[in-house]
Structure 1
Amino acid sequence: MPYDLKSLRVPRLWGLPLKTLVTLLENGYSRSVLESPLIKEAGVDKLRALTVDDAPIMTPKYPKGRSISASNAKETLDIFDTQPLPMSEQPGFHFQTIFDFAKAYRDGSTSPVLVAEQVIHAINVSNEGKTPLRAIINVNEQDILNQAKASQIRIDKGKALSLLDGVPVAVKDEIDMVPYATTVGTHIYGQDHSVPHDATVVARLRAAGALLIGKANMHEIGIGVTGANPHFGVCRNPYHPLHHTGGSSSGSASAVAAGLCPLSIGADGGGSIRIPAALCGVVGLKSTWSRVSEFGAAPLCWSVAHVGPLGATVDDVALGYSVTAGPDTQDDVTLEQPHVHLKDYLKNDLTGLRVGIYTPWFNHADKEVVDRCTRALKILESQGATRHEITIDNLDAQRIAHMVTISSEMLTAVEEEYKKDASRFALDTRVNLAIASTFSSTDYVKAQKIRGLAIKAFMDAFEDVDVIITPSSAIPAPEINSKALPDGESNLSDLTEIMRFATTANFTGFPALTINAGYTEKGLPIGVQLMGRPWEESLLLRMGRVIENGVKKQKPKVHFSLF
């Protein structure tokens, strides 16, 4: 079957034209007139025309035993207790890492209290001026200082809870964290009420001593990939503040790139960790579906949702993954998973590993993106990996099926408030929800039939290769349309380019990692993506570390040193 993904050329809408479109879509009569062209534009007519005999698969399912089991995983989480840890060389600009903080605390170069004071100051400064970063949107200064003082006492007594003790970590506004409200990037939910409990991911970070610095900005209800947010302000890219961060975990990526923290937590239903990580020049991991607990995360898109880490380096992400992943009795779907491990993580020799590339897919991106990602592939080859051409059928059907799935689930998640008063949502959110309301139950079930075909297509490919390499986004961070602020815009052309390589990993549930692969001539980051078999996050992190060591990093225009 020939490669079937297409670029879209749809007019950008903002201001009055966008408001008019929203009004028409939300009116029952005019929407019925627009429904047919909308369905065709979205490709749903193609989905409806497909005949799929397989039974629907409502959540990702695949063999549980393909990963290394607990009994033979020699290198586990204890790798991070090794002193000194063999560090990444990180050519070029050096981001402050978890391990830099841990070392500085122990040799007395700084302290958690001093870092906490610096973090508070940096967040305040970052949110000032003509181009405020808006990475962190909710801060409780006293809570941060109290956490830091507790960390300081533990470290002074030689009783640090882990290497993360006292290290700044930001959390996406989609995930519960005491003493904050979870507002999901909107003014509609939870403004005045702190959540009663931490999400499991946050609880595990807190138990490791992490300094939780506040809630990170996000695209409203996670239904966009630019980071524009009219409620809390557009989130800006530290490499170029006039450009978007990507989304929906916009603030989580921006905060790391700006040096406000070496680790953050995001959520990914359609690329929402990997896209902003790529566009902001940091690292982002979407683990295997159900590898990381969703307990305490806003229920927005059940069958494609993932919580995961973004970090300054692969080492930071590997540590964040190790702390947060694993079974959770409060989230039943996490209970059937193999052991979380980092086997061979520090092994740079990639001899015997096979990298799959579907060339028409890989090349369907801007020239600079393809060039930098090709260099990343060559770095892997230089360490012994071999390149193998593969084919993935029905990528366009997978794209459409994912869109129907995630948008239908998101509409269901916010249906009560949307029906009560849709005008409280942002204009681009209302466009997406209105389009989702045109999908039928038959569309949703057929999309789940396509899920089974997608999982089979990738599992077949992974019989011949160990990872699949693509760009993370087909374009670098797009420029912010200042004319569209503060209300935002609808830009389906850029959205299609940004999401081209991300959604299959959500739809199938397979793990995927984005790593910085270099920069455009203008200095905008470019990300490369590695996608792997279920439960083989360790291999992705190992290969990502090799790529990272071969790419010279550049300093963002907006960056804060915390010590």
Structure 2
Amino acid sequence: MRRLGVKEVEEECSFIHSQVERGNSCACDMAVKTLPSVEDVLSAREEYLNPEPTAPKLTGFGLKAFVWAIEIETISRPILGSILKDNKTLEIIRETIIPDEPMFYLEYPAQKIKEAEVLLLEEESSSVARVEIAVDSLPPPVSSFKEKLSSDYPFLYWTIRDYAAAYSSGHVTPSEVAERFITVIEQSEKSTPRMGYLISFKPDDIRKQAEASTQRHAQGKPLSVLDGILFAVKDDIDCFPHPSTGGTKWLHRYREVKEDAECVSKLRKAGVVFVGKANMNELGLGVTGHNTHYGVVRNPHDTGCHTGGSSAGSCALVAAGLCSGALGTDVGGSIRIPSGLCGTVGLKVTVGRTTLKGISGVSWTMESVGPITANVEDLILLYSAYLGSLPTDQLISGPLPPCLPNIKENPRSTLQQLKLGKFSAWFKDTLQAEVAEVCERSLKLLFEGYGTETEEIFLPELQELRNGHLVTVAGEYATTLRPYYPHVKKEMGLEPRSNLALFYHFSTHDYVAGQQLRRRQMHYHMEAFKTVDIIVTPTTAMTAPAIGAGSAKLGESDLVKAGNLMRFILAGNFLGLPCLSVPVGHDSKGLPIGLQLIGRPWEEATLLRVAAAIEEVCLPHRQRPKVFHDLLK
């Protein structure tokens, strides 16, 4: 880290002093207002307002000084109070009467199965049986594996069915593919820049799994189409024999891994080969993919750019062609943000659709585990294998039975019947105009190809949604980590420490206010879903941001960047809705752009159907990343 001069140190100290002074005056400026009823808000249809978050961008010494200050209670309260007041968080959470009951756990309207052309899955059925149903739901491959072997054949990624064909034909074995993977990872650790894919990597364990799969294929008895497929797991999901660190240097000391997480166990029974634990933002507290302890995860499309987070390594491995799929977790866009920035497909399921058993989770009302793949076909296969919740996980509202879209023919009539909803003022609120333009183009191509119409909707109080999500994350993280925090704080990176200092600034009253806002937002979104089937937005308001020179070692605190990356994703977590990011093109620099689909509770199948159609019509506009490894040729 470079040394700061006297002038720069004075400027940092002056900033902290000014925030203390502003914070001390906050209490004098308070005014109380009352939010109107949800019915009046919907009738008024006020203009969309979503002001940028305001806070200093800090890295290096400035971040270090800031964290030091906010971890001292007498100093932290006025500093954080000032920042929260500037962002109108205090005005919404503490200075406003919210005339609604809190929604402490997600409550959905009574529902019936409305999705057309779906295949139901039994809750108690095996992962192998489900994968067989998923394979049957897919159309025949457009081209065979042998055709794709031609050097001039244009395609982006090998699919899972391509790998299965390569194994069954004897072109290659799972053991040979595993060795190629191991070689690439070992080389990437020495490369400049280091890609930072994995936290835990055990070559002998990979070889052992791959050899067992090779033997099954040699005998003509693969467990499923997933047998021998390489798969990564985010480092907050248990995958024996790896520890689960959650991107920290301490969590594994308190939480020993003795068996696979439920989702990992289901995939393993289908024959998946697990390659290790993928790098992530420490404790999921970040949206860039930076980790002080294990390094920055580099974006395969441009190694000078972030992947997005917190499921950073999971997306990077898939984007680089090293894994057909990966598991991530999502509390604040952690699957969808990196999928949008890396050009992968990422699914955040309805909260309660899949179990969190075996996940070192931190948010019991918003977290879900989901698959990340290079294409929608592979996503359907992996989703079918790992989904399912235990009786103790199911919500009081009761999930609808899990199902898959039958896209074998993907009839135009089924897609014609669906309506997409777009709140145009919000949709266009991107840092880069071309992000919204590319997403608009994808909707136009979908209409031209399948007749799926997009109509205007209204979603009010999006700033209130952002603040409700913030205090809910804060309360749940703070409660979950309270037993550890005093003992391990000094072992954390600066960015997660600054976030946790903010989280502990909030009170139980703030958390309850957040749940009152949750009920209002549920009402607004359910009203929208009365007229449309899916809400569409860009996945992020910007493409992959550059990795700053000063942030590579110590990290950074940049709420403006975080706001642009998180602008469209919060409803999926706050309301537990299923969401999917599908790549639709690139910006002028060649960086990927994703379109987000937000669905009704439990209607993942509809998202998958529409995503498959969007992927098809947008395929000519997509590019392979600069860092790509062909493990089959």
Instruction: Kindly report which structure 2 residues correspond to 1:146-157, keeping only aligned pairs within 5 A, or say none.
Output: 146-157=208-219
Write the letter of the residue equivalent to 1:467.
Answer: I
Q: Is there any run of 5+ residues in structure 2 with no aligned partner, and where?
A: 1-45, 122-129
User: C-alpha distance in 2, partners of 1:437/1:327?
Assistant: 31
* 1:256–1:282 contact (8 Å) kept in structure 2: yes
Q: Deviations over 1:248-288 (max 9, x none)?
A: 00001001001110100000001000000110000000011
TM-score, length-normalised on structure 1?
A: 0.96
| Bigger Cα displacement from structure 2, 342-351 vs 450-459 | 342-351
* 1:179–1:194 contact (8 Å) kept in structure 2: no
User: C-alpha distance in 2, partners of 1:68/1:313?
Assistant: 25
Structure 1 position 119, deviation (Å): 1.3
Match of 1:100 in 2: 162
Match of 2:274 in 1: 212
Structure 1 position 368, deviation (Å): 1.2
User: C-alpha distance in 2, partners of 1:51/1:295?
Assistant: 38
Match of 1:562 in 2: 631
User: C-alpha distance in 2, partners of 1:102/1:42?
Assistant: 52
Match of 2:427 in 1: 362
Q: Which of 360, 372, 397 lines up with 2:438 in the alignment?
A: 372
Match of 1:242 in 2: 304
Match of 2:584 in 1: 517
Pair 1:293–1:64, CA change in 2 (3 A): farther
User: C-alpha distance in 1, partners of 2:422/2:137?
Assistant: 37
User: C-alpha distance in 2, partners of 1:442/1:92?
Assistant: 57
| Structure of higher RCO (CA pairs closer than 8 Å, 6+ residues apart) | 1
Q: Which of 264, 286, 309 lines up with 1:224 in the alignment?
A: 286
User: C-alpha distance in 2, partners of 1:41/1:436?
Assistant: 17
User: 1:51 aligned to 2:97?
Assistant: yes
User: 1:82 aligned to 2:127?
Assistant: no
SS of 1:233 mapped into structure 2: coil
User: 1:6 aligned to 2:47?
Assistant: no
Q: Which of 512, 529, 540 lines up with 1:462 in the alignment?
A: 529
Instruction: Kindly report which structure 2 residues correspond to 1:286-301, keeping only aligned pairs within 5 A, or say none.
Output: 286-301=348-363
| Bigger Cα displacement from structure 2, 213-222 vs 345-354 | 345-354
Structure 1 position 197, deviation (Å): 1.0
User: 1:501 aligned to 2:568?
Assistant: yes
SS of 1:485 mapped into structure 2: helix
User: C-alpha distance in 1, partners of 2:137/2:458?
Assistant: 44
Write the letter of the residue equivalent to 1:360.
Answer: A
Q: Which of 376, 388, 392 lines up with 2:459 in the alignment?
A: 392
Q: Which of 439, 444, 447 lines up with 2:506 in the alignment?
A: 439
Instruction: Kindly report which structure 2 residues correspond to 1:412-427, keeping only aligned pairs within 5 A, or say none.
Output: 412-427=479-494
SS of 1:439 mapped into structure 2: coil
Instruction: Kindly report which structure 2 residues correspond to 1:96-245, keeping only aligned pairs within 5 A, or say none.
Output: 96-190=158-252, 195-245=257-307
Instruction: Kindly report which structure 2 residues correspond to 1:272-283, keeping only aligned pairs within 5 A, or say none.
Output: 272-283=334-345
- Identity across the alignment (%): 38
Pair 1:405–1:92, CA change in 2 (3 A): farther
Match of 1:351 in 2: 416
SS of 1:482 mapped into structure 2: coil
Match of 1:538 in 2: 605
Q: CA RMSD in A?
A: 2.1
User: C-alpha distance in 1, partners of 2:612/2:210?
Assistant: 30
Write the letter of the residue equivalent to 1:369.
Answer: V
SS of 1:142 mapped into structure 2: helix
Match of 1:29 in 2: 74
Match of 1:314 in 2: 376
* 2:98–2:517 contact (8 Å) kept in structure 1: yes
Pair 1:321–1:532, CA change in 2 (3 A): same
Structure 1 position 93, deviation (Å): 3.9
* 2:247–2:282 contact (8 Å) kept in structure 1: yes
* 2:439–2:595 contact (8 Å) kept in structure 1: yes
Write the letter of the residue equivalent to 2:556.
Answer: E
Q: Deviations over 1:376-414 (max 9, x none)?
A: 111221111111100001111011000111122112222
Q: Deviations over 1:485-508 (max 9, x none)?
A: 211011111000000001111101
| Bigger Cα displacement from structure 2, 273-282 vs 185-194 | 185-194
User: C-alpha distance in 2, partners of 1:486/1:231?
Assistant: 9
User: C-alpha distance in 2, partners of 1:264/1:100?
Assistant: 17
SS of 2:581 mapped into structure 1: strand
Structure 1 position 348, deviation (Å): 4.9
Larger Rg: 2
TM-score, length-normalised on structure 2?
A: 0.85
* 1:67–1:338 contact (8 Å) kept in structure 2: yes
User: 1:60 aligned to 2:106?
Assistant: yes
* 1:292–1:334 contact (8 Å) kept in structure 2: no
* 1:353–1:384 contact (8 Å) kept in structure 2: no
Structure 1 position 427, deviation (Å): 0.6
Structure 1 position 80, deviation (Å): 3.1
